[in-house]
Structure 1
């Protein structure tokens, strides 16, 4: 599915990921069909619910649990943790794009999640990417909240997504670029003496 997704994105087709209740994901490489729409039609939820709207003001966009301080963050609360802007070679659309957002290290620090913990990043479509936190921190993972100075539409991987600066170890690991990020959960905590 990932290859079909890349081809569709390159061709300018909008791919709509499944909802949080969907057991499959375009990120996961499965063969489940996902809805698509051409550029002239509005984004349509594949479950027939209608257009995909941006998050409401004050609505949570990211939940972090398993650390010393569980967090539920709105877009404003997330952005208040500190902003960084990077320009990267976006591997899915094959062009340079500028993203602004919050370093993953800042969010993990606020939640009390050490670099030695194993974390699971989960997208709205149910896609999981599990990794030790340290390689993601070392790769300067950014929880992007804006692309090219505007909010990221959900049907294009928003409202928040993980991106990596060019040349970092995870910049070439496409599975790590989790779109429509929803949850960060600790899978394997590190004990207090670690």
Structure 2
């Protein structure tokens, strides 16, 4: 009734209502509302909000809206003013033709640090590719670690081999020590085995 009277007087009708009432009434009766402001709205913006095809101004600012902005918002072909500032919206901003014609897009979405898109300072491509360099860095660090261990092992064996190759005295002493150690182990095993067989024989 108020909307019809305002239309007869030459002014655009303005409706201040909850978000549920806004899209609910639009889908049921296709009410002709030019200006719409949602007060104390919370939750997600419904996908059916695209049914408000005749809305020219939509103000959903300073509420508790969360989640992503529905792509159906770009279907509001009559929309000339939009305000989604100071909510808890996240995700990528829709890139519909109608939304691209709106003035001052940075102000439209201000106060929603979780939003990203071409019209904002935060680009979605940057947000998605941040973890990738970290994982790549971890993989390269692991490869370098194992590669250094392998190189150190090879260099150690090669150093010992070269030392024995050019130091004959060291080589003789080393093999003598190995022979002595082998003989001692053999004797200990033989004595232990003979003692054990006598006890159990």
**How does the TM-score come out when normalised to structure 1?**
0.22
Which protein, 1 or 2, shows the higher relative CO under an 8 Å CA cutoff with sep ≥ 6? 1
Q: Is the helix fraction higher in 1 or 2?
A: 2
Q: Which has the larger radius of gyration?
A: 2
Length-normalised TM-score, structure 2: 0.21
Higher strand share: 1
